[in-house]
Structure 1
């Protein structure tokens, strides 16, 4: 397998020329009413990788820029909260003893162009998810392939250093895809001192101590919680108030509300989010004002909207709406909260849904762009 560091001179020249053309046209088209969005996916060809687009915040029109970083399988992306940096994993390393990779890329906000500034081993096989710590001095990586969770230091220039800490969790479940641990998401809690890991294979949310100064992860502690066998926890989303955490499970599509207090999770509510397997859950997110939660359900091809009880954190289903494509792997709310973009892996499209900020309800717009097997969307704060 190859990535952008090992591309042939011809490929690098073609990619650089294409980026130059795109940069020129995009710089002319960009306006204050537009926001940059990056799309990651399962692209595994030399001329594919991270795609950029611009969303018109007034009309919802999504305009493609094109491939801005020809990386191998960039299935998850994270934007630095204040600096023009994007972090992308390459979901590779499924062979014995192999590791995936994580790339740090410098962005040109005026054009969307990305330049790789460092590439390091991810700390395990088959990386699936990443998040930055509160100080953005560390990047945490969850590995579906091997179940490892790793912490990598972020350099002063935004590049990445080799892993500072790796933890190997254990566990299994009754479903065919649960023969071993499969860490599918990782997040740092609001205090910055704990890392929560949703492990699909082990049917657990592992809780680790995390030292932001040294980027060291402790072993899973007694605060880790078990889910019913065969549930398959997939993704986590914190409430802005720091008191609640929402979990979406994959094998049995359910949303769970947890109260987060003193480093412990307490289950508040469980709701069925979809039908019977093989219908499965994919992504969960909370609106910036904390009033609504959204979840994507694959096979049913829908986005589910929930209202949040601000006192208890409990959810009430408001709506189930078609994502506008097939297999909504992930989605993202734009910074204004007026639009929701869905990455429809099964139909090779990114679609735009309008969002009523008062009611939380979504509506189709008919806006869409093509993207090769999209799995992730990110709106950088600096874009």
Structure 2
């Protein structure tokens, strides 16, 4: 999510407090280079593993990836965000991802294998209890990672009509739709058994979705039918140029704003992979080190790729070659147990950056933690 032409940019970095992380850290983004300068941290909510912003950038939302599971809202003010109220229980364990859809925050609950919807009030604060909890069922052939459902991501589709949930435990993607103030599953699409889908990225203009698989280091290219709300798996491409030397667990996937490139991160191998995109065809053009260990999440903003390296405890950033898409390492900051990086606008000093823009229908990545 990039905010261009309004004001400067800010980074929000999530981390695991249970592993020594600082909670939510804010950093100033240097124009042009994308370099980060830490401003401050808040740690009232444990293990804020994933973050998203309201469309105006005035309210920040975070999951609490704990056994109990919760979501929290923050007002974006000054150098550190301020909680707008107590965290709201999501009636699910280990929420690892969240996004905004149809006036709600949706959370993907890895531990319980479910997706929760919590209503967002007009001022950006959260309702006191969930509107809906969609409980997944099923399993997969990989023992022990697929003994039951493990929702790993939930996000709106580019048209805003649907939301999709990626489930590692059931080798499937579910499509959700709002119905009469709540949500229901529109359909479930099966992927290759044992693939372990983790995250998904949509092509910004064409009808394709790219599903990153954690248990077999590949990307499944799917045709996305926005009218019918369905995915059709087409091809599968490896994210590494050869067999991995040891552990290889893909974690994050990002498509470039112009749709020409795709990037993935792989933990264990600790590399970033670059693909050129031609419709359903992906071509792996190179891999580079992530400049750390265990890259849990990646994000792109204005030609810079940011990487949250969980186990080495740092966030690194890379300039992206506009012709080849290949990342070039530029710098890092120390960030213990980093889990995600989100880029948004700096608070507006004129308005005080209250939540006045509301939640809209915007698009957006502990004890129970996937490998």
Gaps of 5+ in 1: 1-31, 94-98
In the alignment, the residues of structure 2 paired with residue 47 and residue 252 of structure 1 have an alpha-carbon distance, to the nearest angstrom, of: 29
Note the C-alpha offset of 1:191. 3.4
Note the C-alpha offset of 1:66. 2.7
Note the C-alpha offset of 1:332. 1.1
Tell me the residue number matched to 2:258: 289
Matched-pair contact (CA < 8 Å) for 2:25–2:80: no
The 3-state SS of whatever aligns with 2:185 is strand
Q: Aligned ranges for residues 1-383 of structure 1 at < 5 Å?
A: 35-44=9-18, 48-93=22-67, 99-108=68-77, 111-118=78-85, 119-133=87-101, 137-161=103-127, 162-175=129-142, 176-211=144-179, 214=181, 216-219=182-185, 221=187, 224-241=188-205, 243-261=207-225, 262-274=228-240, 275-276=243-244, 278-309=247-278, 312-334=279-301, 336-337=302-303, 339-365=304-330, 367-381=331-345
* Count of equivalent residues: 334
Matched-pair contact (CA < 8 Å) for 2:40–2:80: no
Gaps of 5+ in 2: 1-5, 348-371
In the alignment, the residues of structure 2 paired with residue 36 and residue 140 of structure 1 have an alpha-carbon distance, to the nearest angstrom, of: 23
**RMSD of aligned C-alpha atoms?**
2.0
TM (norm. structure 2) is: 0.85
Structure having greater relative contact order (Cα 8 Å, sep ≥ 6): 2
In the alignment, the residues of structure 1 paired with residue 27 and residue 118 of structure 2 have an alpha-carbon distance, to the nearest angstrom, of: 28
Matched-pair contact (CA < 8 Å) for 2:59–2:74: yes
**CA 201–220 in structure 1, closer or farther in 2 if over 3 Å, else same:** farther
In the alignment, the residues of structure 1 paired with residue 280 and residue 58 of structure 2 have an alpha-carbon distance, to the nearest angstrom, of: 34
Question: Residue deviations 1:202-242, cap 9 Å, x none?
Answer: 1111222234x72x221352xx2222222111001112116
Please list every run of at least 4 consecutive aligned residues from structure 1 whose deviation after the TM superposition is greater than 4 angstroms.
none
Matched-pair contact (CA < 8 Å) for 1:301–1:328: yes
Question: Residue deviations 1:312-354, cap 9 Å, x none?
Answer: 24211122011110111001112x22x1111001100001111
Question: Residue deviations 1:33-86, cap 9 Å, x none?
Answer: 952101101122798310111221323432112313442100010111214111
Matched-pair contact (CA < 8 Å) for 1:33–1:58: no
In the alignment, the residues of structure 2 paired with residue 46 and residue 344 of structure 1 have an alpha-carbon distance, to the nearest angstrom, of: 14
**CA 81–112 in structure 1, closer or farther in 2 if over 3 Å, else same:** farther
Matched-pair contact (CA < 8 Å) for 1:142–1:185: yes
Which range moves more in the overlay, 340-349 or 40-49?
A: 40-49
Matched-pair contact (CA < 8 Å) for 1:46–1:70: no
**CA 80–250 in structure 1, closer or farther in 2 if over 3 Å, else same:** same
Matched-pair contact (CA < 8 Å) for 2:21–2:338: no
**CA 151–371 in structure 1, closer or farther in 2 if over 3 Å, else same:** same
**CA 45–114 in structure 1, closer or farther in 2 if over 3 Å, else same:** farther
The 3-state SS of whatever aligns with 1:44 is helix
